[in-house]
């Protein structure tokens, strides 16, 4: 029997009819549609339970408390620690995307020696050799931490320990200088009723971001707010746009305005104490700032109308500091207060160190800081900020990848202490500055040991309160171990409020230096060279802030 | 003519056989669970009688599903018996500290939100209503995965035609909808999707 | 019994920091799109800047967070969707967008009076390893679908599950806090149930200083704004006689986009 073409066609027709009567077409349709929605290259979130752990942000010295949602051992969401007296349960916008920083494309993953891939062994060998040949300078960007104590003990033994101060700390430097003794100072913002801010972005990342913003918010928009924010700035920044009053001056004329205001305050006897008269006349101040003489007079009267008043500069500005002395804000309630008696002065990394054989820069130092030196530079960093003069680029642990502690924030009016546990595993290809040094000098402490002894000391001193969901005076804590355990689980220790009038400084004459004002730029104290990827929502993907000049990607 | 009808019929029969018998066999690939776990044997030997003793709720109300390895390690930190299955569990997963890569029969797409807490505590459903009497099985069930969609055969249901399904056989959206309709519970889209 | 979740956003308190934008993107697994523009980015929460139009030191700005308004009446996007990929959830009042049903016609984007909907022009990508930081409570989307604010439905789910675990039917309001509300450093965004007359948000929404954007078109949005400053309130309606102006870079580009 020959099987012809017609037979084949008839057979196919039968098969087609039969196929329709089977599940094949319908099942294939269903399955292919599912297949087309499950492309393997679209990442899926992990499947697993979510639990919440506490730690602190380490991306600027303010160390805001975090509640971190974790899934499968990795952070998947960030929120503020609520009921925290310092942050008031608020963070800066960058914190919410910070957990993605550890996978930033610019994350440093291997040791590089002058642009060529190398290894920690070679770096250690080179460093050990350098140690035998001359002094080593250790530079720290976030002094006061447990690892800072380790860096310092090495630096002191083998050369020098230097510190990079941020703008917020520099702004407080003049008072310390004029008092003649080292002092840890801060602002008593909780009791201030008028703030004259010279370009300090008080509502946009200055100090502990939530601290002032929360207080300001309570009477925001009112014609007669509880705290009057007067923003002195050449351009309309976020803070100026929402301030009670915006005073627009020519760029760089902050010191002239401070001098002009001080003159009016003294001449019109608007202030009580005797103070040195600034040499600048009101007319000069007016012409330099671009304001009317009358406007400066009005401003001077306005700022003393609702006391206490304090002037806050964005960076070091002796004229603004002198204005605070004239206003009587130094050592006063609502002004500049001393939060700790015991403080050692630390040498700045900006001062030269000509005889150094090698320099070790901790990952907390901002990438923009490049020391003036021809010594061999060992630069620790978690992210690559671009071209670098460092001889060695050493990958450091990233965000929430190592245990650390949080010393008192630079602008805070009270002492504080918190422990920030590691919440994610640091890649094995990274090492901290202190770990690197420990390989050269095994007698060095570890952060765990330093934190342990700090908790013991806090417990011994019996001062201050421990804040969890309640406040417990330290006298009621059972033991140093209990204190350390609570701190590791998210509690924060707050010192006693500064006693009024405990800090004095003398000003014999108006300061001659006038530091140039820097333009307000967000973020204020952020130290990594990259921003969290999701910051693109604020910069590129919207009109809210403008571009980051490539810092997000 | 008769000859043509026979050829037509032949094509019909071949297609029907291919579609009803061959197709299901080809469509699904069979995989073994990493550890040959038998619910019945386990229940008898360990005295664990309730599903909820291993398949439990956390404080947040989320469901542990197939329990994490630390649950097994709670009893099996070392070999308790002689079986090869237990040896595999202890040597390959408990001792090295790896999660056992169980193949999940009821695995739903990532955009599905199913809350065991709501269905069991509020809906008062029994485990067997969706998972049949799997808890009493004394055989290791083969895991069959759909080669095209990547999901387990349990989702479509064992029957390729979806007619005469046993209760609990089939976990597609329409199966959820059928039960919701029967019990007059309107979850909306928001109630089941992420 | 059924809720109507809504918000009152205090524009006096908003400093334009953008925390809500970043927290929203993080919670909802929105990828970072550094090469996007203000028109092609995905920002389910978007803060816009407006000015009072004055010059010099009299100039003031305000910041307006824009998100899906969860319109109740003749919801435009629900009306136009050919796929029924969006619906007003009866139990909560949330306008729930389901990217998995969406076919990407973008008719809803045209219909939305608030420009609160965003299109995935490409498959979402994260740098290698970053997917471990994705929120398990929210599904990722693929290219070709529209997405928008769903009032953090994953947090609602978590609250419902927590309540159900102890046999309760009603959720504890403290358990359901959307990411933007939780993130705002000045507590500018208040979230609550507008169906509950005891809810502080309901009372705020009825205050004299409260207003809604484009209230005249009658979609009954459930997101209210409030401000003590008259120029800000006056911006709510187009063609207002106030001295304020909506002329910002944002609205300029919107005008050129939509004609």
Chain A residues in contact with C140 by the CB 8 A cut-off are 42-45
Rounded CA-CA distance B1/B9 in Å is: 12
In angstroms, the CA B1 to CA B22 distance is: 30
Q: Between 3.50.50.60, 3.40.228.10, 1.10.20.60, 3.30.479.30, what CATH number should domain A170-333 receive?
A: 3.40.228.10
- Could you tell me the CATH number of the domain that includes residue C169? 3.30.70.20
For chain A, which residues score pLDDT lower than 50?
520, 552-553
Residue of higher predicted confidence among C254 and C68: C68
A118 burial (CB, 10 Å; 0-12 / 13-18 / 19+) is: middle
Residue C102 CA, chain-centre distance (Å), reads 19
Query: Taking CB atoms and an 8 Å cutoff, what residues of chain B touch A39?
Result: none
pLDDT of residue C249: 37
**Does the bond joining A482 to the residue before it have cis omega, within 30 degrees of 0?**
no
Q: Is A142 helix (H, G, I), strand (E, B) or coil?
A: coil
- In the complex, which subunits touch B with 3 or more CB pairs below 8 angstroms? A, C
Number of cross-chain residue pairs from B and C with Cβ atoms under 8 Å apart: 71
Contact A164, A349 (CB under 8 A): yes
Distance to chain C for B147, nearest Cα, Å? 22
CA distance A40 to C191: 37
Least confident of A190-194, A416-420, B40-44, C69-73: B40-44
Tokens of A233: 């700035």
Residues 6+ apart with CB under 8 A from C30: A534, A537, C24, C42, C43, C44, C124, C147
> Residue C174 half-sphere exposure, CB side, CA atoms within 13 Å?
1
Give pLDDT, residue B127: 87
Question: Which domain range does residue C254 map to?
Answer: 5-258
Q: Minimal Cα distance from C92: which residue of B?
A: B190
**Span B133-137, mean pLDDT?**
80
pLDDT above 50 (res C86): yes
What average pLDDT does this structure show over C26-42?
A: 93
Whether pLDDT at C205 is above 60: yes
Contacts of C99 in chain B (CB under 8 A): 111
**Domain map (residue ranges) of chain B:** 28-33+103-194
Residue B108 burial class via C-beta count within 10 angstroms: exposed 0-12, middle 13-18, buried 19 and up: middle
Could you give the angle at which helices A120-133 and A433-440 cross, rounded to 10 degrees? Answer: 60
Whether C22 contacts C183, CB under 8 Å: yes
Given this model, what pLDDT does residue A146 score? 97
d(CA A433, CA A446): 12
In chain B, residues with a C-beta closer than 8 Å to the C-beta of A24 are 18-19, 23
User: C89 and B188 in contact by Cβ < 8 A?
Assistant: yes
Q: Which two tokens stand for residue A128?
A: 């050990």
Report percent pLDDT > 90 for chain C. 83
> What is the tens place of the pLDDT at every residue in B138-150?
888 889 999 999 9
Interface membership of A236 toward B (CB under 8 Å): no
Express each pLDDT in A480-502 by its tens digit: 999 999 999 999 999 988 766 67
Please name the chains neighbouring C, where neighbouring means 3+ C-beta pairs under 8 angstroms: A, B
Peptide bond into A523 cis (omega under 30): yes
Instruction: Tell me the chain B residues in contact with residue A17 when contact means C-beta distances shorter than 8 Å.
Output: 8, 11-12, 15
pLDDT in tens, C91-147: 999 999 999 899 999 999 999 999 999 999 999 999 999 999 999 999 999 999 999
Per the CB < 8 A criterion, the answer to whether C133 and A76 are in contact is yes
Q: How far is CA B30 from CA B91, B102, B171, in A?
A: 24, 14, 19
**Is the per-residue pLDDT at C239 higher than 60?**
no
The answer to whether residue C87 neighbours chain B at the CB level (below 8 Å) is yes
Cβ–Cβ gap C56/A248 under 8 Å: yes
Residues from chain A contacting residue B58 (CB–CB below 8 Å): 49
pLDDT of residue A246: 96
Q: Is the CB of residue A103 less than 8 Å from the CB of residue C129?
A: yes
Rounded to a whole number of angstroms, the distance from the CA of B191 to the nearest CA of chain C is: 8
In chain A, which residues fall in CATH 3.40.228.10?
Answer: 170-333
- Tokens standing for residue A29: 């349709």
State the ipTM, two decimals: 0.94
The two beta strands, A309-313 and A336-340, are: unpaired
* CA dist A234 → A277, A320, C17 (Å): 26, 16, 20
Question: Residue C68 — very low, low, confident or very high, per pLDDT cuts 50/70/90?
Answer: very high
Q: How far apart are CA A22 and CA B20, in angstroms?
A: 6
**The predicted structure's pLDDT at residue A506:** 85
d(CA C248, CA A542): 12
Closest CA of chain A from B82, distance in Å:
32
What is the per-residue pLDDT for B167? 73
The label of the residue with tokens 């292919």 reads A32
HEC-encoded secondary structure of A284-319:
HHHHHHCCCHHHHHHHHHHHHHCCCEEEEECCCCHH
* Residue B39 · residue B137 · CB < 8 Å: yes
**C-alpha distance from A64 to closest chain C C-alpha (Å):** 12
Q: Is C154 on the interface with B (CB under 8 A)?
A: yes
Residues of chain A in contact with residue B156, where contact means CB-CB under 8 angstroms, are 27, 30
Is there a contact between A177 and A32 (Cβ–Cβ < 8 Å)? no
Q: What is the pLDDT of residue B74?
A: 85
Kindly report the pTM of this predicted structure.
Answer: 0.94
Looking at the partner chain, which of C100, C154, C169 has a beta carbon nearest the beta carbon of B122? C169
Contact A458, A493 (CB under 8 A): yes
pLDDT value, residue B60: 85
The mean pLDDT value of chain B amounts to 89
C169 touching chain A per CB within 8 A: no
Query: What secondary structure does DSSP assign to B33-50, as a single string?
Result: -SS---HHHHHHHH----
What DSSP assignment string belongs to chain C? ----EEEEEETTT-----HHHHHHHHHTTPPP-TT--TTTS--SSEEEEEE----GGG--EEEEEE------SS-HHHHH-TT--EEE-TTT--EEE-TTT-----HHHHH-TT---EE--S-----TTGGGGS-TTS----TT-EE---S-HHHHHHHHHHHHHTT-SSPPGGG---HHHHH-TT--EEEEETT-TTSHHHHHHTSTTEE-TTGGG----SEEEE-S-HHHHHTTSTT--SS-B--SHHHHHHHHHH-
Q: Do A14 and B8 touch (CB under 8 A)?
A: yes
Give dist(CA A234, CA C13) in Å, integer.
23
CB contact under 8 Å between B14 and A13, yes or no, is no
Q: What is the dihedral of CA A261, A252, A309, A314, to 10 degrees?
A: -160
Q: Of A78, A90, A541, which to mutate for an interface test with C (greatest number of C Cβ within 10 Å)?
A: A541
Average pLDDT over chain C, rounded to whole? 90
pLDDT, residue C224, reads: 97
Residue C82 has pLDDT above 80, yes or no: yes
pLDDT of residue A459: 95
* A353: closest CA of chain C, how far (Å): 40
> Does A22 touch chain B if contact means CB atoms closer than 8 Å?
yes
pLDDT at position C185 is 96
pLDDT at A515: 64
* Strand (E) or helix (H) holding A156: helix A146-158
Give B144's strand partners: B30
The Cα of C64 is separated from the nearest Cα of chain B by a number of Å equal to 27
pLDDT attached to residue C252: 40
Beta strand pairing call for A465-467 and A492-494:
antiparallel
CA distance B181 to chain A (A): 23
Picking from C120, C28, C31, the residue whose alpha carbon sits closest to that of residue A552 is C31
Closest among B136, B166, B139, B140 to B154, alpha carbons compared:
B166
Tens digit of each residue's pLDDT (9 = 90 or more) over A14-27: 999 999 999 999 99
Tell me, what's the pLDDT at C257?
A: 37
Work out the average pLDDT over C149-169: 94
**Tokens 């509880």 sit at which residue?**
A226
d(CA A211, CA A227): 13
Instruction: Judge whether residue C238 has pLDDT over 70.
Output: no
DSSP-assigned states of every residue in A473-508: EGGG---HHHHHHHHHTT-EEE-PPPPTT-------
Closest Cβ opposite residue B148 in set A32, A44, A50: A32
Domains in chain C: how many in total? 1
Q: How many Å apart are CA A432 and CA A444, to the nearest integer?
A: 13
Find the radius of gyration of the CA atoms of chain A.
Answer: 29
pLDDT at B158: 86
Task: Answer yes or no: is pLDDT of C71 > 90.
Answer: yes
Q: Give the per-residue pLDDT at A243.
A: 95
Topology of the domain covering A47-164+356-442+523-553: Rossmann fold (3.40.50)
User: Would you say the C-alpha torsion C212, C214, C219, C223 has a positive or negative sign?
Assistant: negative
Residue C83 predicted with pLDDT over 80 = yes
């Amino acid at each position: 029997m020959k099987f012809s073409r017609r037979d084949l066609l008839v057979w196919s027709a039968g098969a087609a009819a039969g196929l329709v009567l089977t599940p094949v077409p319908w099942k294939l349709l269903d399955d292919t549609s599912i297949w087309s929605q499950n492309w393997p290259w679209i990442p899926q979130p992990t499947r697993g339970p979510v639990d919440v752990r506490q730690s602190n942000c380490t991306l600027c010295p303010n160390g805001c408390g975090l509640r971190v949602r974790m899934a499968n051992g990795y952070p998947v969401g960030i929120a503020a620690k609520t009921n925290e007296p310092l942050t008031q349960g608020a963070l800066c916008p960058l914190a919410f995307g910070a957990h993605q920083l550890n996978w930033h494309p610019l994350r440093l993953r291997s040791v590089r020696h002058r642009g060529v891939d190398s290894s920690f062994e070679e770096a250690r060998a080179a460093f050990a050799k350098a140690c035998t040949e001359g002094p080593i300078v250790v530079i720290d960007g976030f002094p006061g931490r447990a690892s800072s104590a380790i860096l310092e003990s090495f630096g002191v033994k083998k050369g020098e320990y230097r510190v990079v101060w941020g703008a917020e700390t520099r702004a407080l430097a003049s008072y310390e200088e004029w008092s003649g003794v080292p002092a840890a100072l801060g602002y008593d913002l909780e009791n201030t009723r008028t703030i004259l801010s010279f370009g300090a972005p008080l509502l946009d990342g200055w100090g502990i971001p939530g601290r002032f913003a929360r207080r300001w918010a309570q009477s925001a928009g009112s014609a007669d707010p509880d705290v009057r924010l007067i923003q002195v700035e050449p351009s309309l920044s976020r803070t100026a746009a929402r301030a009670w009053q915006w005073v627009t001056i020519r760029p760089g004329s902050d010191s002239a305005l401070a001098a002009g205001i001080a003159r009016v305050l003294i001449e019109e006897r608007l202030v009580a104490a005797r103070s040195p008269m600034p040499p600048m006349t009101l007319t000069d101040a007016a012409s330099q700032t671009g304001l009317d003489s009358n406007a400066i007079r009005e401003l001077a009267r306005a700022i003393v109308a609702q006391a206490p008043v304090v002037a806050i500069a964005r960076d070091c500005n002796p004229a603004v500091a002198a204005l605070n002395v004239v206003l009587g804000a130094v050592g006063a309630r609502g002004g500049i207060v001393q939060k700790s008696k015991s403080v050692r002065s630390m040498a700045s990394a900006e001062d030269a160190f000509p005889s150094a054989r090698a320099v070790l820069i901790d990952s907390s130092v901002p990438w923009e800081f490049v020391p003036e030196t021809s010594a061999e530079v060992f630069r620790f960093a978690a992210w690559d900020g671009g071209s670098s003069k460092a001889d060695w680029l050493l990958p450091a642990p990233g965000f929430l990848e190592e245990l650390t502690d949080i010393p008192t924030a630079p602008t805070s009016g009270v002492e504080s202490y918190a422990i920030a546990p590691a919440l994610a595993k640091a890649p094995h290809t990274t090492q901290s500055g202190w770990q690197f040094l420990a390989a050269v000098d095994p007698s060095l402490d570890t952060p765990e040991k330093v934190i342990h002894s700090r908790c013991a000391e806090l417990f011994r001193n019996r001062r201050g309160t421990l804040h969890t969901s309640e406040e417990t005076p330290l006298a009621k804590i059972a033991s140093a171990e209990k204190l350390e355990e609570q701190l590791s689980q998210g509690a924060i220790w707050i010192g006693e409020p500064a006693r009024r009038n405990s800090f004095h400084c003398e000003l014999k004459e108006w300061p001659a230096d006038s530091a140039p004002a820097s333009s307000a730029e967000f973020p204020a104290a952020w130290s990594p060279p990259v921003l969290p990827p999701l910051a693109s929502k604020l910069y590129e993907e919207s009109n809210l802030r403008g571009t980051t000049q490539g810092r997000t990607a | 003519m008769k000859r043509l009808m026979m050829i037509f019929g032949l094509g019909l029969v071949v297609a029907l056989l291919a579609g009803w018998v061959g197709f299901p066999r080809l469509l699904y690939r069979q995989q073994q669970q990493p550890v040959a776990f038998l619910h019945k044997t386990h229940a008898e030997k360990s005295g664990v009688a309730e599903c909820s003793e291993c398949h439990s709720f956390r404080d947040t109300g989320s469901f542990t599903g197939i329990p994490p390895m630390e649950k097994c390690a709670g009893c099996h930190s070392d070999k308790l018996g002689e079986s090869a299955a237990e040896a595999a569990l202890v040597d390959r997963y408990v001792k090295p500290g790896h999660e056992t890569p169980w193949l999940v029969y009821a695995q739903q797409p990532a955009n599905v939100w199913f809350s065991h807490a709501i269905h069991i505590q509020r809906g008062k459903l029994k485990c067997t209503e969706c998972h049949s009497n799997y808890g009493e099985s004394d055989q290791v069930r083969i895991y069959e995965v759909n080669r095209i969609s990547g999901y387990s055969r349990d989702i479509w249901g064992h029957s390729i035609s979806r007619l005469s399904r046993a209760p609990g056989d089939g976990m597609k959206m329409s199966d959820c909808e059928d039960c919701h309709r029967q019990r007059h519970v309107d979850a909306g889209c928001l109630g089941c999707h992420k | 019994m059924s809720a109507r979740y809504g918000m009152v956003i205090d524009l006096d308190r908003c400093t334009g920091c953008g925390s809500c934008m970043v927290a929203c993107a993080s919670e909802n697994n929105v990828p970072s799109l550094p090469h996007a523009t203000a028109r092609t980015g995905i920002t389910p929460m978007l803060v816009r800047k407006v000015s009072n139009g004055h010059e010099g030191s009299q100039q003031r700005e305000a910041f307006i967070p824009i998100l899906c308004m969860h319109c109740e009446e003749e919801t435009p996007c629900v009306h136009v969707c050919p796929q029924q990929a969006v619906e007003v959830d009866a139990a909560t009042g949330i306008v729930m967008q389901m990217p998995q049903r969406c076919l990407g016609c973008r008719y809803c984007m045209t219909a939305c009076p608030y420009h609160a909907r965003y299109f995935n022009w490409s498959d979402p990508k994260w740098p290698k390893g970053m997917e471990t930081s994705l929120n398990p409570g929210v599904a990722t989307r693929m290219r070709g679908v529209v997405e928008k604010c769903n009032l953090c439905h994953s947090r609602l789910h978590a609250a419902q599950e927590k309540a159900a675990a102890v046999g309760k039917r009603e959720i504890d309001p403290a358990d359901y806090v959307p990411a933007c509300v939780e993130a705002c450093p000045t507590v500018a965004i208040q979230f609550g149930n507008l169906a509950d007359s005891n809810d502080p948000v309901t009372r705020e929404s009825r205050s004299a200083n409260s207003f809604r954007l484009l209230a005249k078109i009658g979609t009954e949005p459930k997101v209210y704004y409030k401000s003590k400053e008259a120029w800000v309130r006056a911006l709510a309606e187009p063609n207002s006689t106030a001295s304020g102006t909506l002329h910002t870079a944002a609205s300029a580009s919107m005008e050129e986009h939509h004609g």
